[in-house]
Chain A
Amino acid sequence: MKTKVFAVVCLLALGAYLAARHWSRPAERTQRGIAATHSFAPELSLTDLSGKKLELSSYQGKIVILDFWATWCEPCRTEIPRFVDLQNKYRGQGLQIIGISLDDDPKPVQVFYQQFKMNYPVAVGNANLAERYGGILGLPVNFVIDRDGRIYAKHAGEVDISLIEQEINSLF
Protein backbone atom coordinates (compact mmCIF):
# COMPACT_ATOMS: atom_id res chain seq x y z
CA MET A 1 0.00 0.00 0.00
CA LYS A 2 2.75 2.40 1.05
CA THR A 3 4.75 1.52 -2.04
CA LYS A 4 1.72 2.27 -4.26
CA VAL A 5 1.12 5.65 -2.60
CA PHE A 6 4.80 6.47 -2.96
CA ALA A 7 4.75 5.52 -6.65
CA VAL A 8 1.63 7.65 -7.28
CA VAL A 9 3.26 10.65 -5.54
CA CYS A 10 6.39 10.22 -7.66
CA LEU A 11 4.37 9.88 -10.87
CA LEU A 12 2.30 12.97 -10.06
CA ALA A 13 5.41 15.00 -9.33
CA LEU A 14 7.09 13.76 -12.51
CA GLY A 15 3.95 14.62 -14.49
CA ALA A 16 3.95 18.13 -13.05
CA TYR A 17 7.63 18.50 -13.91
CA LEU A 18 7.15 17.39 -17.54
CA ALA A 19 4.02 19.55 -17.92
CA ALA A 20 5.86 22.58 -16.60
CA ARG A 21 8.71 21.99 -19.04
CA HIS A 22 6.28 21.59 -21.92
CA TRP A 23 4.14 24.66 -21.20
CA SER A 24 7.04 26.94 -20.57
CA ARG A 25 8.78 26.42 -23.92
CA PRO A 26 9.18 30.02 -25.04
CA ALA A 27 10.09 29.30 -28.67
CA GLU A 28 6.76 27.64 -29.12
CA ARG A 29 4.95 30.49 -27.42
CA THR A 30 6.64 32.96 -29.71
CA GLN A 31 5.50 31.19 -32.82
CA ARG A 32 2.05 30.33 -31.62
CA GLY A 33 1.18 33.39 -29.59
CA ILE A 34 -1.51 34.56 -31.93
CA ALA A 35 -2.49 31.10 -33.14
CA ALA A 36 -3.50 30.26 -29.60
CA THR A 37 -6.23 32.87 -29.74
CA HIS A 38 -7.49 31.62 -33.13
CA SER A 39 -8.52 35.16 -33.87
CA PHE A 40 -9.85 36.04 -37.28
CA ALA A 41 -7.29 37.66 -39.53
CA PRO A 42 -8.11 41.34 -39.98
CA GLU A 43 -9.65 42.11 -43.36
CA LEU A 44 -7.46 43.76 -45.92
CA SER A 45 -8.63 45.59 -48.96
CA LEU A 46 -5.91 46.79 -51.31
CA THR A 47 -5.19 46.98 -55.00
CA ASP A 48 -2.58 44.53 -56.19
CA LEU A 49 0.24 45.27 -58.62
CA SER A 50 -1.88 44.26 -61.60
CA GLY A 51 -4.60 46.72 -60.57
CA LYS A 52 -7.04 44.10 -59.24
CA LYS A 53 -8.82 44.39 -55.91
CA LEU A 54 -7.14 42.25 -53.26
CA GLU A 55 -9.37 41.23 -50.35
CA LEU A 56 -8.59 38.56 -47.81
CA SER A 57 -12.25 37.57 -47.53
CA SER A 58 -12.29 36.52 -51.17
CA TYR A 59 -9.87 33.71 -50.25
CA GLN A 60 -12.07 32.17 -47.58
CA GLY A 61 -11.99 28.39 -47.97
CA LYS A 62 -8.30 28.48 -48.87
CA ILE A 63 -5.26 28.27 -46.64
CA VAL A 64 -3.56 31.62 -46.88
CA ILE A 65 0.00 32.66 -46.14
CA LEU A 66 0.01 36.41 -45.71
CA ASP A 67 3.58 37.59 -46.08
CA PHE A 68 4.67 41.09 -45.04
CA TRP A 69 7.92 41.86 -46.84
CA ALA A 70 9.86 44.55 -48.64
CA THR A 71 12.35 44.72 -51.48
CA TRP A 72 15.02 46.15 -49.17
CA CYS A 73 14.69 43.31 -46.66
CA GLU A 74 17.38 40.73 -47.24
CA PRO A 75 15.73 37.84 -45.35
CA CYS A 76 12.56 38.54 -47.40
CA ARG A 77 14.54 38.23 -50.61
CA THR A 78 15.76 34.84 -49.40
CA GLU A 79 12.27 33.67 -48.48
CA ILE A 80 10.37 34.72 -51.57
CA PRO A 81 11.73 32.11 -54.02
CA ARG A 82 10.74 29.50 -51.43
CA PHE A 83 7.22 30.93 -51.30
CA VAL A 84 7.07 30.82 -55.10
CA ASP A 85 7.94 27.10 -54.96
CA LEU A 86 5.42 26.52 -52.18
CA GLN A 87 2.68 28.23 -54.18
CA ASN A 88 3.43 25.99 -57.17
CA LYS A 89 3.52 22.86 -55.05
CA TYR A 90 0.29 23.37 -53.11
CA ARG A 91 -1.86 25.52 -55.40
CA GLY A 92 -4.03 22.51 -56.27
CA GLN A 93 -4.68 21.79 -52.60
CA GLY A 94 -5.96 25.26 -51.91
CA LEU A 95 -2.93 27.24 -50.77
CA GLN A 96 -2.90 30.93 -51.58
CA ILE A 97 0.05 33.12 -50.75
CA ILE A 98 -0.47 36.87 -50.58
CA GLY A 99 2.42 39.32 -50.40
CA ILE A 100 2.09 42.70 -48.71
CA SER A 101 5.05 44.88 -49.44
CA LEU A 102 5.89 47.62 -46.96
CA ASP A 103 8.07 49.51 -49.41
CA ASP A 104 7.55 53.26 -49.41
CA ASP A 105 7.44 53.30 -53.19
CA PRO A 106 5.67 50.76 -55.47
CA LYS A 107 8.19 51.05 -58.33
CA PRO A 108 10.88 48.72 -56.90
CA VAL A 109 8.12 46.29 -55.94
CA GLN A 110 7.02 46.03 -59.59
CA VAL A 111 10.61 45.38 -60.67
CA PHE A 112 11.13 42.81 -57.92
CA TYR A 113 7.86 41.06 -58.78
CA GLN A 114 9.02 40.50 -62.37
CA GLN A 115 12.58 39.68 -61.44
CA PHE A 116 11.63 37.03 -58.90
CA LYS A 117 8.80 35.65 -61.08
CA MET A 118 6.36 35.93 -58.19
CA ASN A 119 3.30 33.77 -58.84
CA TYR A 120 0.94 35.15 -56.21
CA PRO A 121 -0.76 38.52 -55.71
CA VAL A 122 1.25 41.32 -54.17
CA ALA A 123 0.01 44.70 -52.98
CA VAL A 124 1.75 47.60 -51.32
CA GLY A 125 0.51 47.91 -47.74
CA ASN A 126 0.47 50.76 -45.31
CA ALA A 127 0.97 51.53 -41.63
CA ASN A 128 -2.73 51.23 -40.87
CA LEU A 129 -2.91 47.66 -42.15
CA ALA A 130 0.35 46.77 -40.43
CA GLU A 131 -1.03 48.04 -37.12
CA ARG A 132 -4.19 45.98 -37.52
CA TYR A 133 -1.91 42.95 -37.76
CA GLY A 134 -0.34 43.82 -34.42
CA GLY A 135 2.34 46.18 -35.74
CA ILE A 136 4.93 45.07 -38.27
CA LEU A 137 8.06 46.62 -36.81
CA GLY A 138 10.59 44.46 -38.58
CA LEU A 139 10.48 42.20 -41.59
CA PRO A 140 9.64 39.62 -42.70
CA VAL A 141 6.51 38.67 -40.81
CA ASN A 142 4.06 36.13 -42.11
CA PHE A 143 0.79 34.66 -40.97
CA VAL A 144 -0.64 31.24 -41.75
CA ILE A 145 -4.42 31.58 -41.98
CA ASP A 146 -6.75 28.61 -42.02
CA ARG A 147 -9.69 27.96 -44.32
CA ASP A 148 -12.07 29.78 -41.94
CA GLY A 149 -9.94 32.90 -41.95
CA ARG A 150 -8.45 32.39 -38.50
CA ILE A 151 -4.79 32.99 -37.78
CA TYR A 152 -3.10 29.67 -37.19
CA ALA A 153 0.51 30.82 -36.79
CA LYS A 154 2.67 33.89 -36.95
CA HIS A 155 6.34 33.89 -37.90
CA ALA A 156 8.59 36.86 -37.36
CA GLY A 157 11.97 36.86 -39.08
CA GLU A 158 13.23 34.47 -41.71
CA VAL A 159 11.28 31.28 -41.30
CA ASP A 160 12.24 27.69 -41.92
CA ILE A 161 10.04 26.87 -44.89
CA SER A 162 9.68 23.25 -43.73
CA LEU A 163 7.92 24.54 -40.61
CA ILE A 164 5.41 26.44 -42.76
CA GLU A 165 4.99 23.34 -44.89
CA GLN A 166 4.22 21.27 -41.79
CA GLU A 167 1.67 23.83 -40.69
CA ILE A 168 -0.15 24.02 -43.99
CA ASN A 169 -0.12 20.23 -44.27
CA SER A 170 -1.80 20.02 -40.88
CA LEU A 171 -4.50 22.35 -42.20
CA PHE A 172 -5.25 20.53 -45.48
Chain B
Amino acid sequence: MKNTFYRNSIITMIVLCTLVCLSVHATAQPFTQAATTSSSKSQVATIQSDSSAPQLIQPEELARIVQSSKGDEPLILQVGFHVLYLQAHVPHAEYIGAASAAEGLRQLRRRVAALAHSQPIVLYCGCCPWSKCPNVNPAYKELRDMGFTNVRVLYIADNFGKDWADKGYPVAKGE
Protein backbone atom coordinates (compact mmCIF):
# COMPACT_ATOMS: atom_id res chain seq x y z
CA MET B 1 0.00 0.00 0.00
CA LYS B 2 2.77 2.37 1.10
CA ASN B 3 4.87 1.40 -1.93
CA THR B 4 1.93 2.05 -4.25
CA PHE B 5 1.49 5.51 -2.75
CA TYR B 6 5.16 6.44 -3.22
CA ARG B 7 5.17 4.98 -6.72
CA ASN B 8 2.12 7.12 -7.62
CA SER B 9 3.78 10.20 -6.13
CA ILE B 10 6.94 9.61 -8.13
CA ILE B 11 5.00 9.02 -11.35
CA THR B 12 3.03 12.23 -10.77
CA MET B 13 6.26 14.16 -10.18
CA ILE B 14 7.83 12.72 -13.33
CA VAL B 15 4.78 13.58 -15.44
CA LEU B 16 4.61 17.11 -14.10
CA CYS B 17 8.39 17.63 -14.46
CA THR B 18 8.09 16.50 -18.07
CA LEU B 19 5.30 19.02 -18.56
CA VAL B 20 7.52 21.73 -17.04
CA CYS B 21 10.40 20.85 -19.36
CA LEU B 22 8.17 20.74 -22.43
CA SER B 23 6.59 24.03 -21.50
CA VAL B 24 9.94 25.74 -20.93
CA HIS B 25 11.32 24.33 -24.15
CA ALA B 26 8.30 25.36 -26.20
CA THR B 27 8.08 28.88 -24.86
CA ALA B 28 11.84 29.42 -24.89
CA GLN B 29 11.93 29.18 -28.69
CA PRO B 30 12.93 32.61 -29.94
CA PHE B 31 9.51 34.25 -29.98
CA THR B 32 10.38 36.89 -32.46
CA GLN B 33 12.18 34.43 -34.66
CA ALA B 34 9.22 32.08 -34.65
CA ALA B 35 6.85 34.92 -35.37
CA THR B 36 8.94 36.42 -38.11
CA THR B 37 9.78 33.07 -39.64
CA SER B 38 6.18 32.36 -40.45
CA SER B 39 5.51 35.90 -41.62
CA SER B 40 8.82 35.95 -43.51
CA LYS B 41 7.92 32.82 -45.40
CA SER B 42 4.60 34.20 -46.50
CA GLN B 43 6.22 37.50 -47.45
CA VAL B 44 8.95 35.77 -49.41
CA ALA B 45 6.35 33.70 -51.19
CA THR B 46 4.40 36.83 -52.10
CA ILE B 47 7.52 38.69 -53.19
CA GLN B 48 8.83 35.87 -55.32
CA SER B 49 5.54 35.31 -57.06
CA ASP B 50 5.96 38.79 -58.54
CA SER B 51 8.33 38.58 -61.53
CA SER B 52 9.57 42.16 -61.10
CA ALA B 53 10.41 41.58 -57.45
CA PRO B 54 14.04 41.34 -56.33
CA GLN B 55 15.93 38.09 -56.25
CA LEU B 56 16.59 37.44 -52.59
CA ILE B 57 19.45 36.16 -50.53
CA GLN B 58 18.79 35.04 -46.97
CA PRO B 59 20.92 36.36 -44.09
CA GLU B 60 22.32 32.92 -43.20
CA GLU B 61 23.54 32.44 -46.77
CA LEU B 62 25.24 35.83 -46.97
CA ALA B 63 26.77 35.31 -43.53
CA ARG B 64 28.19 32.00 -44.73
CA ILE B 65 29.61 33.64 -47.85
CA VAL B 66 31.16 36.51 -45.89
CA GLN B 67 32.67 34.17 -43.31
CA SER B 68 34.13 31.75 -45.81
CA SER B 69 35.08 34.12 -48.59
CA LYS B 70 38.60 34.38 -49.93
CA GLY B 71 38.08 37.68 -51.70
CA ASP B 72 35.53 36.22 -54.07
CA GLU B 73 32.40 37.44 -52.35
CA PRO B 74 29.88 39.56 -54.24
CA LEU B 75 30.02 43.32 -54.13
CA ILE B 76 27.90 44.18 -51.09
CA LEU B 77 26.28 47.60 -51.07
CA GLN B 78 24.39 49.17 -48.19
CA VAL B 79 21.72 51.41 -49.69
CA GLY B 80 20.31 52.59 -46.38
CA PHE B 81 21.16 55.26 -43.86
CA HIS B 82 24.53 56.38 -42.63
CA VAL B 83 23.83 56.31 -38.89
CA LEU B 84 22.82 52.66 -39.18
CA TYR B 85 25.85 51.81 -41.32
CA LEU B 86 28.25 53.45 -38.85
CA GLN B 87 26.91 51.39 -35.97
CA ALA B 88 27.05 48.03 -37.72
CA HIS B 89 27.21 46.70 -41.25
CA VAL B 90 28.01 43.53 -43.14
CA PRO B 91 31.82 43.20 -43.36
CA HIS B 92 33.17 44.50 -46.69
CA ALA B 93 29.86 46.21 -47.44
CA GLU B 94 30.28 49.62 -48.99
CA TYR B 95 28.12 52.54 -47.97
CA ILE B 96 26.17 54.00 -50.86
CA GLY B 97 23.42 56.01 -49.21
CA ALA B 98 19.66 55.89 -49.15
CA ALA B 99 18.37 54.81 -52.54
CA SER B 100 15.02 56.43 -51.76
CA ALA B 101 16.78 59.76 -52.45
CA ALA B 102 18.10 60.97 -55.79
CA GLU B 103 21.61 61.41 -54.36
CA GLY B 104 21.68 57.78 -53.21
CA LEU B 105 20.72 56.55 -56.67
CA ARG B 106 23.35 58.82 -58.26
CA GLN B 107 25.99 57.40 -55.92
CA LEU B 108 24.85 53.87 -56.75
CA ARG B 109 25.15 54.51 -60.50
CA ARG B 110 28.62 56.01 -60.02
CA ARG B 111 29.81 53.03 -57.98
CA VAL B 112 28.78 50.40 -60.51
CA ALA B 113 29.40 52.34 -63.71
CA ALA B 114 32.67 50.59 -64.53
CA LEU B 115 31.56 47.08 -63.57
CA ALA B 116 30.64 44.21 -65.88
CA HIS B 117 26.90 43.62 -65.96
CA SER B 118 27.45 40.08 -64.77
CA GLN B 119 29.11 41.29 -61.53
CA PRO B 120 27.42 39.61 -58.54
CA ILE B 121 25.98 42.32 -56.33
CA VAL B 122 24.11 42.09 -53.05
CA LEU B 123 22.07 45.09 -51.92
CA TYR B 124 20.76 45.60 -48.45
CA CYS B 125 19.27 48.17 -46.13
CA GLY B 126 17.64 46.79 -42.96
CA CYS B 127 16.31 50.08 -41.65
CA CYS B 128 12.72 48.88 -41.32
CA PRO B 129 10.51 45.86 -41.79
CA TRP B 130 10.91 44.44 -45.30
CA SER B 131 7.60 45.64 -46.71
CA LYS B 132 8.25 49.17 -45.42
CA CYS B 133 11.85 49.64 -46.54
CA PRO B 134 12.02 52.67 -48.84
CA ASN B 135 15.46 51.83 -50.24
CA VAL B 136 15.95 48.30 -51.52
CA ASN B 137 13.37 48.32 -54.30
CA PRO B 138 14.54 51.58 -55.95
CA ALA B 139 18.17 50.36 -55.75
CA TYR B 140 17.33 46.97 -57.24
CA LYS B 141 15.28 48.55 -60.03
CA GLU B 142 18.10 50.97 -60.84
CA LEU B 143 20.64 48.18 -61.23
CA ARG B 144 18.28 46.06 -63.30
CA ASP B 145 17.52 49.04 -65.53
CA MET B 146 21.27 49.53 -65.99
CA GLY B 147 21.50 45.96 -67.21
CA PHE B 148 22.96 44.17 -64.20
CA THR B 149 21.87 40.57 -64.27
CA ASN B 150 23.28 39.13 -61.06
CA VAL B 151 21.76 41.29 -58.36
CA ARG B 152 20.26 39.97 -55.18
CA VAL B 153 18.73 41.73 -52.20
CA LEU B 154 19.41 40.62 -48.66
CA TYR B 155 16.08 39.64 -47.16
CA ILE B 156 15.80 41.38 -43.80
CA ALA B 157 12.40 40.69 -42.32
CA ASP B 158 12.42 43.26 -39.53
CA ASN B 159 15.66 45.17 -39.30
CA PHE B 160 19.42 44.72 -39.45
CA GLY B 161 19.74 44.51 -35.68
CA LYS B 162 17.24 41.73 -35.20
CA ASP B 163 17.85 39.74 -38.36
CA TRP B 164 21.63 40.04 -38.60
CA ALA B 165 23.50 41.46 -35.60
CA ASP B 166 21.41 39.71 -32.93
CA LYS B 167 21.88 36.40 -34.69
CA GLY B 168 25.62 36.63 -34.23
CA TYR B 169 26.45 37.14 -37.90
CA PRO B 170 29.65 39.11 -38.45
CA VAL B 171 29.50 42.88 -38.35
CA ALA B 172 31.92 45.72 -38.98
CA LYS B 173 31.62 49.21 -37.53
CA GLY B 174 32.46 52.73 -38.61
CA GLU B 175 33.40 53.90 -42.06
Contact = CB atoms under 8 A, between A and B. Distances in A.
Contacts of B128: 72-75, 138-139
Interface size class of B (residues with CB under 8 A): 35 or more
A111 interface: no
Given A30-B32, A104-B83, A135-B88, A6 B132 contact: no
B71 interface: no
Interface size class of A (residues with CB under 8 A): 35 or more
Interface string A16-27: 110011001111
A20 B87 contact: no
Interface in B1-42: 2, 5, 8-9, 12-13, 16-17, 19-20, 23-24, 27-32
A163 to B, nearest CB: 16
B127 A72 contact: yes
A130 interface: yes
A30 B160 contact: no
B162 A72 contact: no
Interface of B: 2, 5, 8-9, 12-13, 16-17, 19-20, 23-24, 27-32, 81-84, 86-88, 97-98, 100, 126-129, 132, 134, 158-162, 164-165
Lowest 6 A-B CB distances belong to which pairs?
Answer: A138-B159, A137-B161, A13-B16, A26-B31, A127-B86, A74-B132
